[in-house]
Structure 1
């Protein structure tokens, strides 16, 4: 009789480091490796428990004196876009989105570098090379896809290969209960298109069409203005001490 059991994941704690979101705060993370035949199952369970994936690592904040990071997921089936979101959808009706395997390309990396150089010159990813980008995309043991967004060219609908300028990319995990947006980037030249917003709206529609209830957005950081956009997508749930709870919607924009 085989009495061997599947090993449980081992969790580790990082050393304190400067928080990238809140001045004067220090952060720590608890993490584990997502490898082996149960990686996809573990990714589902850990994401539902407030973890995020980066390559083959699942992590979540474990700060000693701060609880500002809150996991957020959109309830896709109940979501209704605001008027400003509908304008974003209309402004991007000329885009065509294609789902690709998690395989990097030179075209993607050129767009990725342009995005970093414009938006995150001093961030932790600012010096990433083509090899680093390839590892970010390929180093996954779960069901991961790349969604490419291109400006549709005349006649491109007749081609088996996607045509048109690549202007946005989303790295997305396909989970049992939803889509998890791991990382997304876009051409900053098209600022008026609000491509970050559009990709989230597209993921909500994709989750709904697949019959999946959630779109996971990662962490909303209370007190960090650059994270406030995540609360605009309602209804949503936030992971609190007692589990996932519906959040109160923020004050709407004047044009909503």
Structure 2
């Protein structure tokens, strides 16, 4: 279990939960005044999920079973909202969700079903597509994936170091981001039409700057060589650019190369309008 540092008087960690036997973000119980910001931090977690349009989110009351409340199974532990237990924060009414979540936690946390009120300061587990690295970034902590062995760095010259840095940035958040883009683009390169999955990569339009920038509309799915050219600038222009009206612009220095055939053509777009990439002039 690894702690996620926050500014709140509450304990947050990421790892394997030995109560639900699931992996995720764990907010320790705040009962008895032990963690006075327990509820504030929980609401902040929900705000962060909304800010990045997180999906596949499930929240569990992960309190330890007692003789009075044995929490029969994980299904019972799930927070329910509008008859759902897996949430898409892109479309959720957050204020209503927060109020409902508090009610659900109180209800599931009752030691005695006959009592009118339960405590909301229960131990909670949040599962989603976010990993430990993502949560650290959301709370302003250093990305564990950006920590590169210092000895290797010291032995690199300036060009090698820049190459390593770009590769680390390129692969950061690729797992979840790439899966989302593969689905949105039907496993097809937006420029070439290639369907060789092993070569398809998630490309950021606006530079990667934390988990909030790894959303489908800020990316496109590109074959690895096209992705490299998309990330390389010559005289302030990408070697392969895509315009605001989705036209491919191949740099004049590539005239006569195998890439010139794509110049002026349109890219393939996702079926869902909300997933369309946002390129700028």
Say whether the fold is shared (TM-score over 0.5). Answer: no
More helix by share: 2
Higher relative contact order by CA 8 Å / sep ≥ 6: 1 or 2?
A: 1
Please give the TM-score of this superposition, normalised by the length of structure 1.
0.19
Task: Output the TM-score relative to the length of structure 2.
Answer: 0.18
Structure ranking higher in strand proportion: 1
Instruction: Point out the structure with max Rg over C-alpha.
Output: 2
